[in-house]
Amino acid sequence: MLPSILIIENQAYPIPWSVQSFKDSLTKDYFCQVMLLEEQIIGYFIIQIILDEFQILNICISPDYQGKGLGKLQLLEIVKLAETKRMNRILLEVRTSNKVAKNLYQNSGFHQIGKRKNYYPTKSGREDAFVLELALG
Ligand SMILES: CC(C)(COP(=O)(O)OP(=O)(O)OC[C@H]1O[C@@H](n2cnc3c(N)ncnc32)[C@H](O)[C@@H]1OP(=O)(O)O)[C@@H](O)C(=O)NCCC(=O)NCCS
């Protein structure tokens, strides 16, 4: 399963997660789910559960399947899961340059609650992150 995820990760992100980052997230405080189409992985998400909060660490759709509503479907799945587990809120960071992801989150009710300066590496330096929240309950 990990090799298929890594292929998508490398196609979808300019600065992808390493194999080790994925392995680190396979511990008990994390929740990972894949999206399948005819037994082929086309998307995945990884959440860290911290007390009554979900932190979305990675949410990704294979570039071949982007723009078809599947990212929104995965995000709805996360929200449903958080509600089932009686979480208080969902948090995430997103690159300030990632307009598609920012639109997805804002159209799904997330609000900006902060900004982290130079949070992400880029190919030529660093870039800020918006911190977004969806309050639940
Ligand atoms: C971000 C990502 C998960 C969105 O998934 P997707 O399947 O492409 O998006 P969807 O088709 O479900 O569209 C959801 C919303 O995203 C926004 N969106 C999608 N494509 C867009 C585009 N080309 N331009 C601007 N906004 C766009 C829209 O707000 C859209 O909602 P709407 O159709 O109601 O307007 C996906 O593009 C992806 O995997 N990107 C690479 C990895 C990544 O950046 N992950 C997020 C890290 S924080």
β partners of residue 54: 49, 90
Q: Which positions ≥6 away from 81 have C-beta within 8 Å?
A: 31, 47, 54
pLDDT in tens, 72-112: 999 999 999 999 999 999 999 999 999 999 999 999 999 99
> What is the domain count for the chain?
1
Is 93 noted as a catalytic residue in this protein?
yes
Q: What is the CATH number of the domain that holds 81?
A: 3.40.630.30
pLDDT at 27: 81
> Which atom of ligand 1 lies nearest, measured to the CA of 43?
39
| Helices 99-107 & 70-84 angle (0-180, nearest 10) | 50
Indicate the pTM of the whole model.
0.96
β partners of residue 50: 53
Could you list the residue range(s) of the whole structural domain that residue 61 is in?
2-135
Tell me which residue has its CA closest to atom 23 in ligand 1. Answer: 100
pLDDT at 124: 94
The residue ranges of the chain whose pLDDT is under 50 are none
Is 105 noted as a catalytic residue in this protein?
yes
pLDDT at 29: 87
pLDDT at 137: 80
SS3 98: coil
